[in-house]
Chain A
């Protein structure tokens, strides 16, 4: 038991909160030892504030620790609720990512053998991220789809979160495969803007059809457009400077439309969603 005690002014200031850290630490060290001062301070403590602090402590202790992907996202500035939604995206699962990586690795290996396969790589590359968007909403792969459809959360917001997640995860895989192409030059990155444009086009179509059908329609159009140019070697038609400007315009236009329509458009995640 100490002979020294906190004076009334120190007790009042400490109880109200705004004291310098070194004084707070000193007061806390003393309070741990002194029942007399603990009794004195209790009369000054705002019960609601104490309740709120205690509640926060209980929540921090009681809530399960976030898993690694969620912790990383929160550290990057993503909201904790959004991080949880991202963690539930079906496309983040290992088997799916391995499949995408496998197909692209095969395409990159084939490109080493024959230049025609290099051109086909550019046709195939945007399909990985696009398929990821479709898979993120495929009924069989999203186990909570039915529960999600009956929830009030905005379909467009969920669509954008999952699409951004898919692109963030699959784009580096495609980029890595692109760097493995023979004589890596601008072609290794030529798929980027088409991918962005095609994704925006697919998202825009989701107000009329489900994401899976929208992606299928866009991917089919893409293959029909680019496969002949890849076979004949006329890559500039789909990947040249002029085409890249068109893809950029499509991506920007699609993004602007999505931003403008975010509160008015109903995304068809299911038949009535």
Chain B
């Protein structure tokens, strides 16, 4: 079942093309957008979150057309969105802020709304700080507040822009757990430039680079792109696109291997590096 369909979407800001004829499909589960900073991931997510309209192309979300005001309102009723730089009214407490967003989500009945606020606060592990002002929270806790507001109303479509950025390893693991849980039965589209997050969470990925979708498919399909192109040597290979010294003292080389190279199984990160190093390559798996 496809719940997010983006076809030929183009978006420019002045003379800068942020997206150039991008296609993307997503359904229940976690779909990851992978790419370097400035690749166009945030622009694509803002379009999926109905915050931006594309210049060209069509977008269908939850079987509705967001360019029509009535459809857009219906989509937003079933949408949760965590922006990359989610801002907060820092004088509000956690409860007050999430309650404020719940009001914007048109939860009019006070008691039912407060129940829902408590539900997402508990779900994201914020119960112990619900009466604390947001300005007193750590960055990781604020990120949780952002996720909590996105989960209000149990949305069918969750759009998360760099949800794990700035988190320490333990917080990242907890966030992965929460996002993985959120992806059960609903569509989650998230961006990241952390290949570990994508490997751990996503059933499908799209690699965005310079405003174009360089790859769409499963993580296994992307990893397979690098089969036979990763090898180890005692030193950095001049043939390598990228190489780094590993814990055992050998060099892990990614690129076109010389004859007789000691090939090793690739990772998603290897395949991602290769794709970024060969920008003319575009691969789409159905």
Contact = CB atoms under 8 A, between A and B. Distances in A.
Contacts of B130: 64
Contacts of B83: 146-147
B136 interface: no
B101 A270 contact: no
A4 to B, nearest CB: 38
Interface stretch (A9-17, A33-41, A79-87, A176-184): A79-87
A153 B95 contact: no
Interface string B87-130: 11110110110011101111010110011001000000000001
A88 interface: yes
A81 B103 contact: yes
Contact of A147 (B93, B106, B149): B149
B97 to A, nearest CB: 8
A141 to B, nearest CB: 10
B69 interface: yes
A64 B118 CA distance: 12
Of the listed residues B104, B115, B130, the one surrounded by the most CB atoms of chain A closer than 10 A to its CB is B104
A271 interface: yes
B165 interface: no
Contacts of A153: 103-106
A63 B102 CA distance: 14
B111 A148 contact: no
A143 interface: yes
Contact of B51 (A144, A158, A270): A270
Interface string B230-248: 0000000000000000000
Contacts of A59: 110-111, 114-115
A45 B124 CA distance: 36
Interface residues of A, number: 30
A149 interface: yes
Given A84-B96, A151-B101, A273-B51, A64 B69 contact: no
B181 interface: no
Interface residues of B, number: 42
A64 B96 contact: yes
A152 B73 contact: yes
A81 B110 contact: yes
A150 B106 contact: no
Contacts of A85: 100, 103-104
B50 interface: yes
B131 interface: yes
Interface in B162-178: none
B77 interface: yes
Contacts of A273: 51
Contacts of B53: 271-272
Interface in A233-273: 266, 270-273
A87 B51 CA distance: 24
B80 to A, nearest CB: 8
A163 to B, nearest CB: 17
A81 B52 contact: no
Interface string B46-57: 100111110000
Given A59-B111, A64-B131, A266-B69, A146 B51 contact: yes
Contact of A152 (B46, B77, B114, B131): B77
A71 interface: no
Contacts of A150: 49-51, 76, 79, 81, 159
A56 interface: yes
A30 interface: no
Contact of B111 (A55, A64, A149, A152): A55
A131 to B, nearest CB: 21
Interface of B: 46, 49-53, 66, 69, 72-73, 76-77, 79, 81, 83, 85-90, 92-93, 95-96, 99-101, 103-106, 108, 110-111, 114-115, 118, 130-131, 149, 159
Given A62-B114, A143-B87, A270-B51, 11 more contacts: A142-B87, A144-B86, A146-B86, A146-B87, A147-B81, A153-B104, A158-B104, A271-B52, A272-B51, A272-B53, A272-B66
14 contacts: A64-B130, A80-B110, A81-B108, A88-B89, A88-B100, A144-B86, A144-B87, A147-B83, A147-B87, A150-B50, A151-B76, A151-B104, A272-B50, A272-B53
Interface of A: 55-56, 59, 62-64, 67, 80-81, 84-85, 88, 142-153, 158, 266, 270-273
